[in-house]
Chain A
Amino acid sequence: MNNSLPRLIDGMVATLRSEIIPHLDGEFARGQAFGVIYMLNNIRLRADWSPAFLGEQLAALVELAVSLGSLGVDTKFIPETAPDSSDPRVLEALRDEGDQRVCALMDWLEQQRAQLSVDTAAALDAALFRYMNRQLKWELSTSAKPMFAEISGGAE
C-alpha cells in the first residue's frame, strides 16, 4: 500500500460524510454509515501496517545484501540482518531507506559498469532483478482483486 493508513482512513471517513451519506435514503442506512465512520475512527487509533508485510520486504533487502556481499560489493548501506523492532514505522523507514540506497547502488553500477567484468556486472544485475521481483510479487500477492469497473461504473 502506498498511502499511509491514517490518511486512507481519514479519506474514507471524509468520503462517507460528503459523498455517500447525503445521498443515502433512510435513517437506518445513514445510521449504518455513521457506524462505519465510528469504527474506522477506532481502527485509526489502534491499527498500523502489518509488521509481517514489512518484514518480508526487509527480508528481501537482507537477501540482496548477502548476494551483493558475495560479489564483493560494499553493502553497508543495506541492512544485512532483519531488525528486531516490530514497530511498523521503524520497519517502514528502514525499507524506504533501503530502497533509496538500492537506487543509489544502481547509479553506482551504471558508472562502474565499464570497469566491472561482464560476469560481475551480469551477476549484480541478476541480484537486483531478484530483489525487485521478490518485492513486486509480494506486493501483488498481498493486494485485493482490482475493482475499477465497479469504481468507474458505480455498480457491481
Chain B
Amino acid sequence: MTPLEQKPPNPLDDEALLRDRLSSYLQAQSGRSWTVGPFTRYAVGFSWITYGFTAREEGSSDERGLILRLGPPYGLFAPYSAHPQYAALKALETSRVPVPRVFWWSDDVAILGAPFFISEKMPGVAPVPWSGSFEAGYRQSIGAQFVSAIAALHACDARNSGIAQNDTTVENAALKQIDFWQEAGARWALKSHPMLHWALRWLRRNQPVAPRVSLVHGDYRLGNFLEQDGRITAILDWELVHVGDPHEDIGWAFLPQFAMGSGLICRLIPRDEFIAQYERESGIKVNPASVHFYLVFSLVKLALTHIAAIRCFEEGRFNDMRMPAMGTQLAPVLRQIEKLLQ
C-alpha cells in the first residue's frame, strides 16, 4: 500500500485512539484535562456501539462512571444523528421516567468517527425476553414500574422536548410513521414481499387519530431497561424516539415476540392490568382499534428491521451471524401479520 492509499486512522477501529480523542473532547468541553480509563464494550443491539468507561476530571477525586454511545456508518439504521437521543434524555431528566443523565453529544464525525453522546452509567442489568423466569412478586413489581414509566413518558409535554415535531398532529401521526418506515424499507429491501406490501396498504387505509401527540420511545420492551434490586433504574435505547401516537409504544410492547408464550405483556403483566394502570397514570384512554392498528404497524416495523439486517449482512457491512439469523425471522413475522389481517 502506498502512502496515498493509506486510510486515515479511524477511532471506531482503534480503542486507544478513541480514548485519546475522547479525552481531548472532554477537555475542550470542560476546560480541564480528563483521565479516561479503559473501555468495556457492551454486546447490545445491532446499531449503536456502547462503551462503559470511567473518567476523572483534573482536580476532582471522584471517578465517574460514564457511557459512550456511537452510531457507526455501517449500523443497521445508519446514517445516525445523536441529537434526538440527547434531547429526549435531557428533556426527561426531571420527569418521572427513569433515565440516565446525559452530558454531551455531537454529530460531527471528525471528533470520534461517528455521531455520539455521553451519559451517566446507571446501575443494574437488562432482563431479556428469551431467558430465565421471573418470580411472581418480582414480575408484578417490575411490571407495574414498566407501565408507570411509559405512562409518565406519554404524559410529558412533547412540544418542549427538543425532539423535532415535523408538523406531527393527532390526525397525521400514523401517516408520518407509515411514510418513514415504508421509505426506509424501500431503501433496504432486496426483493418484494407481498404480505408486507399488503400490510402497508392496510395501514394506510386504517390510520387512527391519536389521542394526543406524545413522546414515543419507539422500542419500549423487556430488554431495554436496567433493573437492580427490584427497581427499574433506567429506560435505555432511545434511538427511535420521536413524537407520535402513544398507542405506538403500547403496540410494540404488546408484540408476541416479547411475551415468549407467557400470555403476559413482555413476560411481566397481564394485558388488562397494563391497560388499566396505564390509563389511570397517563390520563390517556386506550383505544382497542388503535392498539390493533399499532400491533400490525409494529409487526411491519419488525419485518422491516429484519429486512435491514438482511441487507446489512448481504452488503458485508457486518459478519455478525445474528444478522442473517434475524433475517430468518421475516417469514414468521409476516405470518403473524397475515393472521391479524385475515
Contact = CB atoms under 8 A, between A and B. Distances in A.
> Do A and B bind?
yes
Contacts, number: 97
A128 B195 CA distance: 9
Interface in B260-318: 306-307, 310, 313-314, 316
A55 B130 CA distance: 35
Nearest to B130: A149
Contacts of B201: 106-107, 110
B198 A3 contact: no
B186 to A, nearest CB: 12
A131 B192 CA distance: 14
Contact of A136 (B190, B329, B335): B335
A149 B323 CA distance: 15
A148 B130 contact: yes
A2 B319 contact: no
A128 B316 CA distance: 34
A76 interface: no
Contacts of B1: none
A123 B2 CA distance: 66
A15 B194 contact: no
A148 B332 CA distance: 14
Interface residues of A, number: 40
Contacts of B40: none
A139 B331 contact: yes
A153 B324 contact: no
A12 B321 CA distance: 7
A58 B190 CA distance: 18
A99 B191 CA distance: 8
A77 interface: no
Contacts of B334: 132, 136
B321 A102 contact: no
Contact of A2 (B328, B335, B338): B328
A136 B313 contact: no
A144 B327 CA distance: 13
B190 A103 contact: no
Given A11-B319, A15-B319, A2 B192 contact: no
14 contacts: A2-B324, A3-B313, A3-B314, A7-B314, A10-B319, A11-B324, A100-B191, A103-B197, A106-B201, A136-B338, A143-B328, A151-B325, A152-B128, A152-B130
Given A15-B321, A103-B192, A153-B131, 6 more contacts: A1-B328, A99-B191, A102-B197, A133-B338, A148-B325, A149-B131
